[in-house]
Amino acid sequence: MILSLKNKNSLLEYCLNIINTLFKDGDEVNKKNLKKSFDFSLDKIEYCHQGIKDIKKYTTKNKQIYFDHLNTDHFCTFLYFLSNTTYVNCSSKTICTKIYYLNKVMHGVDILYSVKLPKIFNLQHPVGSVLGPAIYKNYLTVFNNCTVGRNSSNSKYQPYLEKNVTLRPNASVIGNSFIGENSEISIGSTVYNQKVKKNSIYFGDPIQNHILKKIK
């Protein structure tokens, strides 16, 4: 994978510098703390970019997979992978919390380190989006101001999003909801404890009438 910075070590130093500049709490994150998770996360974003089909001009350069630290969609995705991988592989919750917090500050997204996003997903200008506990399958696309999660912190039900689901701006999927494969939740629409069949475009919300249009 081609990097916008000169090498992996430069990118690692860049990440550490941002984290330690933002959180001047006397508990500095160092290379040793982050190196293993950092390497795993680079592998994950390379695989992710390899699998995204619709925006190759943003994820490739000279026909090779490309990661640009100044592309906010790239860096937002990478910070999610880094927070999640650190959560899985590191005993310190402080580090993954800082990375999660950093992503929130830099990109305006709320994706907790414990949330399990799929291996291949596409964040398209995701400012204001909150991706909470749910089952997410590959080829998920999320635009701005989307919400996914349980209808309360005590609920045992969570959404299930099948492969190739797109959440258009201001779309929400809440509670015991199922979104079928190859479906879209359109702009400003809310799915609440509902089932959306595969190959559908969903308009509306649970209160007002909604329309399901089949994708040809």
Backbone phi, then psi, for 16, in 5-degree steps?
A: -65, -40
Mean pLDDT value across residues 42-46: 96
Buried/exposed code over 166-177 (b: 16+ C-beta within 10 A; e: otherwise): bbbbbbbbbbbb
The boundaries of the domain holding residue 42 are 2-107
pLDDT band for position 102 (cuts 50, 70, 90) = very high
Mean pLDDT value across residues 147-156: 87
Q: Is the pLDDT of residue 105 over 80?
A: yes
Q: Is the pLDDT of residue 209 over 60?
A: no
134 and 103, same domain (yes or no): no
- As a whole number of angstroms, the distance between CA 107 and CA 59 comes to 18
Highest mean pLDDT among 122-131, 151-160, 196-205: 122-131
23 and 53, same domain (yes or no): yes
| Domain termination site, one of 83, 107, 131 | 107
Neighbours of 59 (CB within 10 A): 25
102 and 149, same domain (yes or no): no
pLDDT band for position 53 (cuts 50, 70, 90) = confident
130 and 95, same domain (yes or no): no
> Tell me, what's the pLDDT at 58?
78
74 and 129, same domain (yes or no): no
Say which CATH number the domain at 176 has.
Answer: 2.160.10.10
Q: Is the pLDDT of residue 216 over 90?
A: no
83 and 140, same domain (yes or no): no
55 and 130, same domain (yes or no): no
12 and 101, same domain (yes or no): yes
The residue to which tokens 């937002």 are assigned: 76
**Residue % of the chain over a pLDDT of 70:** 95
| Domain termination site, one of 84, 107, 130 | 107
Give the 3-state DSSP-derived string for the chain, with helices as H, strands as E and coil as C.
CEECCCCHHHHHHHHHHHHHHHCCCCCCCCHHHHHHHHHHHHHHHHHHHHHCCCCHHHHEECCEEEECCCCHHHHHHHHHHHHHHHHHHCCCHHHHHHHHHHHHHHHCCECCCCCCCCCCEEECCCCCCEECCCEECCCEEECCCCEEECCCCCCCCCCEECCCCEECCCCEEECCCEECCCCEECCCCEEECCEECCCEEEECCCCCCCEEEECC
Q: Is the pLDDT of residue 20 over 70?
A: yes
90 and 136, same domain (yes or no): no
> Tell me, what's the pLDDT at 211?
65
Residue of 191, 189, 167, 190 whose CA lies nearest to 177: 191
> Tell me, what's the pLDDT at 80?
98
Mean pLDDT value across residues 125-135: 97
97 and 9, same domain (yes or no): yes
Mean pLDDT of the chain: 93
Q: How many domains does the chain have?
A: 2
Mean pLDDT value across residues 39-50: 96
> Tell me, what's the pLDDT at 47?
96
93 and 125, same domain (yes or no): no
